[in-house]
Amino acid sequence: MINQFNLKLILLECFALIFIISGIDRQYVTYHGDKFDALLNDDIKTFASLTDIRMGEFFLNQLYWTFASILIGIIIVSLVNWKNTFGIINSIIVLILTIGIYATGFYSSGIINRYLNYFCGIFAKGYGMSFLIGGLIILLVGVLILWKTIDLNKKHS
């Protein structure tokens, strides 16, 4: 079991999942942009006219969406590790690291988000289209890292 522990693969899989989850979250914000606008402007009447769910339920749905994408990502990583005869310990560590890093909000605030919003704002007029472009870029980076991880898995197995 210890000989199947590969730190490089674990970190690459973890970063790939974080990028994929962040990209999917940006797509969620893009899809529900008018509702987020209403909430950011403290316009509860506009929010209520746009949807029939309460504000708490709206944010809970976003949390469900995030955890579903984490779960699907972990299942994919586990299947790749299982197919290439790596132990389940790698998948468990990836799960713990991914949830731990994602819970800090490192990718949703700070320098990375600011520069990405500025870069995507060059190509789009509104923040909705900017989030769409940024989400697709982040998602693509995550998929490319995961693809590289799959190639490394094949080399090590």
pLDDT at 157: 61
pLDDT at 145: 92
Which residues neighbour 88 within 8 Å (Cβ) at sequence distance 6 or greater? 78, 81, 82
pLDDT at 37: 79
N- to C-terminal Cα separation, the chain = 14
Instruction: Report the predicted TM-score, pTM, of the whole model to 2 decimal places.
Output: 0.80
DSSP string, 37-53: HHHHTT-HHHHHHH-SS
Q: 13 vs 33, which has greater pLDDT?
A: 13
Q: What gap in Å lies between CA 126 and CA 93, rounded to an integer?
A: 39
Per-residue confidence band for 144, with pLDDT thresholds at 50, 70 and 90 = very high
Per-residue confidence band for 4, with pLDDT thresholds at 50, 70 and 90 = low
- Contact (CB, 8 A) for 6 and 86: yes
Q: What is the pLDDT of residues 109-140, one digit of tens each?
A: 656 667 777 777 777 776 677 788 888 988 99
pLDDT at 143: 92
Q: What is the pLDDT of residues 56-107, one digit of tens each?
A: 888 898 889 888 888 888 888 888 878 777 777 888 888 888 888 877 876 6
Which two structure tokens, joined as six digits, stand for 19?
């990028």
Of 17, 22, 13, the C-alpha closest to 116 is 22
Per-residue confidence band for 152, with pLDDT thresholds at 50, 70 and 90 = confident
